[in-house]
């Protein structure tokens, strides 16, 4: 009997080069004789580069389901993780539905951001583009460029049209002197309403409760609630004796 230990040329090449995307071999474009098309991995790679540029890439990647600790944690924390993992597992199907989003509201310290980022990381691993929007920072940026209409439209359209938008800390710092900042609301309405009409998912975290969200602005709040129906966790009054892994 002859044992074959040698590899074919192709097998050797395969072993030497491990591409993140085997479809385009990390070129991000699919090139054939007649056309050049962006590969499905391209959007994800663009968003990864944005994270790297802003210096939060590593911190972002560290937030996974694996290190979202549910040991001896209240049932709501355990269920939130379960819901988040189920959302990722069924995403292809869910993304076709009207209620294709997921939201975590309430209590500071419940690691809502961790859970949202874990979802984003898992989706990105599957080459689904998730754009990370740190609410306060991005809203400030958008307000700064509002006088340059063309630039503003280009900037806001990123958040309107990305495959999945993750909004971290929605409405943080919205209240100024106990008054809701109307410009913030208008910008958010433009983004949320567009995504709502186009059926584009959002992953939302906010320290505010659902009723507060509606109180701030019913149009924005009710759309997010409708988009996330069945996949909303509201953390409230949980005994958080020890800090959760964040
Ligand atoms: Zn590719």
CA 91 to chain centre: 13
CA of 27 to the centre of ligand 1 (A): 7
pLDDT value for 9:
64
- Going by their DSSP bridges, the two strands 232-235 and 102-106 should be labelled as parallel
3-state secondary structure of 146: coil
Q: How far apart are CA 81 and CA 83, in angstroms?
A: 5
- Residue 223 CB: number of other CB atoms within 10 A? 20
CA of 161 to the centre of ligand 1 (A): 20
CA of 9 to the centre of ligand 1 (A): 23
pLDDT value for 237:
72
CA 4 to chain centre: 47
Long-range Cβ contacts of 90-97 (<8 Å, 24+ apart): 91/123, 91/126, 91/128, 94/201, 95/201
In the chain, what is the straight-line distance between the N-terminal and C-terminal CA atoms, in Å?
57
Q: How far apart are CA 162 and CA 124, in angstroms?
A: 13
pLDDT digits (tens, 9 = 90+) for 122-134: 999 999 999 999 9
Say yes or no to pLDDT of 4 above 60: no
pLDDT value for 188:
97
CA of 67 to the centre of ligand 1 (A): 28
CB burial class (10 A; 0-12, 13-18, 19+) of residue 167? Answer: buried
- 54-235: in CATH 3.30.70.20: no
3-state secondary structure of 110: coil
Highest mean pLDDT pick, 2-6, 39-43, 232-236: 39-43
CA of 44 to the centre of ligand 1 (A): 9
pLDDT digits (tens, 9 = 90+) for 57-92: 888 889 999 999 888 888 888 999 999 999 999 999
Q: Let me know: does 201 contact 224? Beta carbons within 8 Å.
A: no
| Continuous H helices in 54-128 | 57-62, 75-89, 91-94, 112-125
Q: Let me know: does 165 contact 139? Beta carbons within 8 Å.
A: no
pLDDT value for 7:
61
CA of 218 to the centre of ligand 1 (A): 40
CA of 45 to the centre of ligand 1 (A): 9
pLDDT band at residue 244 under the 50/70/90 scheme = very low
């Amino acid at each position: 009997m002859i044992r074959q230990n040698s590899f074919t040329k192709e097998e050797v090449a395969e072993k030497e080069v491990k591409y993140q995307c085997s479809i385009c071999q990390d070129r991000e474009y699919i090139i054939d004789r007649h056309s050049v098309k962006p590969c499905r991995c391209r959007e994800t790679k663009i968003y990864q580069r944005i994270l790297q540029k802003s210096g939060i890439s590593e911190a972002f990647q560290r937030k996974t389901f694996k290190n979202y600790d549910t040991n001896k944690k209240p049932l709501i924390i355990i269920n939130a993780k379960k819901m988040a993992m189920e959302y990722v597992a069924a995403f292809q199907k869910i993304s076709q539905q009207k209620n294709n989003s997921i939201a975590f509201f309430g209590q500071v310290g419940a690691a809502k951001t961790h859970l949202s980022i874990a979802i984003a990381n898992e989706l990105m691993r599957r080459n689904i583009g998730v754009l990370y929007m740190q609410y306060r920072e991005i809203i400030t940026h958008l307000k700064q460029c509002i006088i340059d209409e063309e630039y503003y439209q280009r900037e806001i359209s990123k958040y309107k049209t990305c495959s999945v938008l993750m909004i971290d800390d929605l409405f943080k710092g919205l209240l100024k002197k106990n008054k809701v900042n109307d410009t913030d609301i208008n910008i958010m309405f433009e983004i949320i309403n567009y995504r709502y009409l186009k059926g584009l998912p959002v992953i939302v975290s906010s320290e505010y409760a659902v009723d507060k969200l509606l109180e701030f602005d019913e149009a924005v709040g009710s759309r997010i609630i409708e988009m996330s129906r069945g996949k909303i966790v509201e953390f409230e009054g949980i005994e958080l004796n020890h800090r959760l892994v964040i």
